[in-house]
Amino acid sequence: MSEHVLFVERWRGEFLECAHYGQAVIVDGSGQIVNAWGNPHATVLPRSSCKMVQALPLIESGAAERYSLNSEHLALACSSHQGGRIHTDRVTAWLSGLGLGETDLRCGPQLPNDLPARNALIIAEKTPCQIHNNCSGKHSGFLTLNKHLGGSVDYIDPSHPVQKASLAALEETSGITSAGYGIDGCSAPNFATTLYGLARSMAFFANAVEGNNLRQTAAVRLRNAMMAHPELVAGETRACTEIMNEMAGRGIIKTGADGVFTAILPTLGFGLALKIQDGSTVASNCAIAAILSKLGVLEPDSVAAKNRMNTIVKSRRGLDAGIVKPSSEFA
């Protein structure tokens, strides 16, 4: 079995300028591999692609009910947001409702990717705060769970009950014992799994049925929240938001840093995980759009798909300069 497959090509004129290799796997509800590219058992750090798994204890523990979290809160808990007002205003209100504030977060400050928010900070000569961090929704979920559990303030410590609950959720839904962890960009531990294990977790979400048991009910609530609020999961111009809007309930996708993507496909009962080896976001966006199109849950001629695959690269004067496309081996 080849370790990596050529997924995405970036051409400039007649020249293949960049070649992006990776791995991907599709798993069904029984844990069977439906399709795989490269080695599905390679160990990966899921990064932000598994935030819905990390949010399971928030509901299972009773914290979400105790603090009256709605679908917007749950979507933000699964988000890697742009730091726009629609995100930061909601996170601020969420923390305030808990009797907490920005200083209780442990994710660190980040300049928002949302241009109006970024420009507003620059004009006001203000620095970004932790609420602008793309993971502030996830961390608000951690803080909610921590308040419910009565844990210490250092909720990002790998030995903290919040992180132990997150690890248990990943291992139990993936069927894989984690090989360890790395520290994510938001300072929380990011527990390793295999690509297959990550896809199996997504397949669990895809096949969960409300009322079957506590965990499946929690998974359905998170799945529905992400589908109902794709703009909170990411934001304008982002692949997650635009593609989920186009899929119109046929699927959920979640990006992670350094070329990771997951998908929950309830209409097919499939879970999907992919990793671009060199970490390219352009390539991971192209690859996820290509796979979703192959599966029939994303129209290849839709604007969301065309913005990611078979995309014409323009020069700064608007001239056609190249193309980003799935490789013939992968397509």
Q: What is the pLDDT of residues 106-155, one digit of tens each?
A: 999 999 999 999 999 999 999 999 999 999 999 999 999 999 999 999 99
User: How far is the CA of 14 from the CAs of 85, 92, 239, 308, 321, in angstroms?
Assistant: 43, 50, 28, 20, 10
SS3 195: helix
Two tokens, residue 249: 């309930």
CATH number at residue 155: 3.40.710
Report d(CA 180, CA 175) in Å as an integer. Answer: 15
Summarize the confidence of residues 299-303 as an average pLDDT. 95
- pLDDT given for residue 195 in this prediction: 98
Using pLDDT thresholds of 50, 70 and 90, give the confidence band for residue 331: low
Number of C-beta neighbours around residue 317 at 10 A: 6
In a domain, 17, yes or no: yes
Instruction: Give per-residue pLDDT as tens, 151-192.
Output: 999 999 999 999 999 999 999 999 999 999 999 999 999 999
- pLDDT given for residue 329 in this prediction: 73
In a domain, 331, yes or no: no
In a domain, 169, yes or no: yes
Residue 52's nearest CA partner among 177, 190, 226, 168 is 226
In a domain, 193, yes or no: yes
In a domain, 319, yes or no: yes
Tell me which residue range forms the domain holding 220. 5-326
Report d(CA 74, CA 222) in Å as an integer. Answer: 6
Two tokens, residue 122: 């620059």
- pLDDT given for residue 151 in this prediction: 97
- pLDDT given for residue 3 in this prediction: 87
Please state, for a pLDDT cut of 70, what percent of the chain lies above it.
99
Summarize the confidence of residues 24-39 as an average pLDDT. 97
**Strand duo 193-194 + 320-326: pairing:** unpaired
SS3 244: helix
Using pLDDT thresholds of 50, 70 and 90, give the confidence band for residue 88: very high
Instruction: Give per-residue pLDDT as tens, 197-215.
Output: 999 999 999 999 999 999 9
In a domain, 263, yes or no: yes
Instruction: Give per-residue pLDDT as tens, 282-298.
Output: 999 999 999 999 999 99
> For 85, how many CA atoms within 13 A lie in the half-sphere containing its CB?
5
Structural domains counted in the chain:
1
Report d(CA 23, CA 12) in Å as an integer. Answer: 24
Two tokens, residue 173: 């839904």
- Terminus-to-terminus CA distance in the chain, angstroms? 18
In a domain, 278, yes or no: yes
- pLDDT given for residue 328 in this prediction: 85
User: Is the pLDDT score of 1 beyond 60?
Assistant: no
- pLDDT given for residue 18 in this prediction: 96
